[in-house]
Amino acid sequence: MNNSDSNSDPIILIVEDSRAIVSELQRKLDGLVGFRTEVVSTLADAREFLNWHSKDIFLAILDLNLPDSSGGEIVDLFCSMAVPSIVFTADFNETTRKRMLSKEIIDYVVKDTNAVGNITDYIVRLLRNRETKVLVVEDSKSFRFSLCSMLEKQMFQVVDVGNAEAALEVMEREASIRLVIVDYGLPGMNGVDLTRKLRAKYSKDTLSIIGLSISDDPLLTVRFIKSGANDYIAKPFEVEEFYSRVGHCVETLDRIRQLQDANQVKNRFLGMAAHDLRGPINGINGFTEMLLGDLCGEMNKEQREAVEYISSANLHMNDLVSDLLDISVFEAGKLQLIKSESDLRDIIEIRLGIHAIEAKKKSITFESDLEDVGSFVFDSKRMRQVLDNLLSNALKFSPHGGVVEISLEKKGAEIEVCVRDQGEGVPEGEERLLFKSFEKTSVRPTAGESSTGLGLPIVKNVVEAHGGQVWVESEYRKGAMFCFTLPLESSS
């Protein structure tokens, strides 16, 4: 049976006499692009198929009990032809398990209600494994050979060395290694120290590390994990345990990469959408200004109020689009600061004057304590953005007739700016939401002002890009104080 128009595609061969299982397997495997599925139902048919196509088979799925093969002869046949195989067995016991593990097969899968799904998941893992490079660091040649054989059965690309120094050299050359399996008792540098060195250079987003040891020291697991390992396996171990732990580490890296890829797609979409919205927003702004300037004829009171509402909503939309563009730039890691020597106190005073108009609407008073810290180097445009977001945030969440305080002072080799409001503050447990994009706390602006949840993430990104820090101090029902620091860089 052929599920592809192309006979050149690698074959997934199903050797199974149950029509129901074959039908379900084929349905599940239809989504695997680049493969074609073939089916035989007896040992004799399998032998005939191998005579013609053994070199074209990517993987064979073998039913252990066939009408003309009830003793596992089908497994011996495929192993003798070096065809990668997974055994399907309903007869699962310790005897069958040991017999299967003694064969040169990839693995066995128990026939139960989840069997077909388990087989298809396994195939997807094998396809992933073919693109995954693993480094084995083990000083025992015999055990290193055993580890490499198990990994190669799982279709991993494997590199092996006998000591930590050689491992570090390989890591310098092989940027594509994604998993390191390291024994503790290495000559020279031990496995824990090697793990620590690797983790100092490679994050858990890019490299998984599994520690190994025959030691019965219960703290060795802790030492490996605390040094940056993802997992630890004590020798001796069962093959299934080894496969499971290795698979989990590699799958975690894949999930991280998928999330990173999805995040990049999201950022590109946000950037494109925001950019494309700029045109119509500017058009609306131009026409509303014309109408409000009576360039198209005089309007009555109701018409003017409607156009003023449109203008206000359009300005808010423009701010949102600007924030979306900024967030897409920040999360893509493309923020470029344009630094020059400027006076931050002057900038703060100007921003206070601009926000005084909004403050007056809620009878809010600004109180400032601004130390003359002199000029230093920073991106003044981005810093205006930071101050606007903090002041706007304070005004939104302050009550009518309240006070917003802003301070600037020099502290050693950096300056500190704080903006304090008299609003509700941050409910306990919600602090983590403040600096995450599109997240909001349960507290709402006091006069129904709009909030996108992007202002504080923008503040955080800009400040940290300058080498500073940002934080919040708050006691619920007693207001909040947002602070940030900037290093005092000179232009010389």
pLDDT one-digit tens code per residue, 212-232: 998 778 889 999 999 999 999
- Locate the DSSP E strands across 156-302: 157-161, 177-183, 208-213, 231-234
Res 218: pLDDT: 80
Helices (H), 162-238: 164-173, 191-201, 219-226
pLDDT one-digit tens code per residue, 376-428: 999 998 999 899 889 988 998 889 999 999 999 999 999 999 999 988 888 87
Domain that holds residue 24: 11-126
- Among 126, 156, 173, the domain-final residue is 126
> H or E segment at 136?
strand 133-137
For residue 254, tell me if it sits in a domain.
no
- Alpha carbon distance 65, 214 (integer Å): 38
Determine contact, residues 24/49, Cβ cutoff 8 Å.
Answer: no
Res 350: pLDDT: 92
276 and 211 inside one domain? no
76 and 200 inside one domain? no
| CATH code, 25 | 3.40.50.2300
For residue 1, tell me if it sits in a domain.
no
- Among 126, 160, 176, the domain-final residue is 126
Decide which of 319 and 294 is more confident. Answer: 294
- Tell me the C-alpha to C-alpha distance, in Å, between residue 360 and each of 276, 350, 370, 411, 446: 35, 16, 21, 32, 14
Lowest-confidence range among 28-37, 62-71, 441-450?
A: 441-450
Decide which of 59 and 90 is more confident. Answer: 59
Q: What percent of the chain has pLDDT over 90?
A: 53
For residue 477, tell me if it sits in a domain.
yes
For residue 301, tell me if it sits in a domain.
yes
Query: Using 50, 70 and 90 to split pLDDT, how confident is the model at 448?
Result: low
DSSP 399: P
For residue 28, tell me if it sits in a domain.
yes
Instruction: Please determine, for residue 3, whether its predicted confidence score (pLDDT) is greater than 50.
Output: no
Res 5: pLDDT: 43
Q: Could you identify the residue written with the tokens 């494994």?
A: 129
305 and 354 inside one domain? no
138 and 211 inside one domain? yes
Q: Could you identify the residue written with the tokens 């025959």?
A: 214
Determine contact, residues 419/481, Cβ cutoff 8 Å.
Answer: yes
Is the preceding peptide bond at 427 cis, omega within 30 degrees of 0? no
Res 1: pLDDT: 46
120 and 136 inside one domain? no
Res 443: pLDDT: 72
- Counting the structural domains of the chain, the total is 4
Instruction: Please determine, for residue 135, whether its predicted confidence score (pLDDT) is greater than 90.
Output: yes
- Alpha carbon distance 376, 362 (integer Å): 34
pLDDT one-digit tens code per residue, 249-284: 999 999 998 888 887 777 777 777 777 777 788 888
Query: Using 50, 70 and 90 to split pLDDT, how confident is the model at 449?
Result: low
Q: For the residues 277-301, what does the mean pLDDT come to?
A: 85
pLDDT, averaged across the chain: 88
For residue 60, tell me if it sits in a domain.
yes
- Alpha carbon distance 196, 211 (integer Å): 11
Confirm whether pTM is higher than 0.75. Answer: no
119 and 172 inside one domain? no
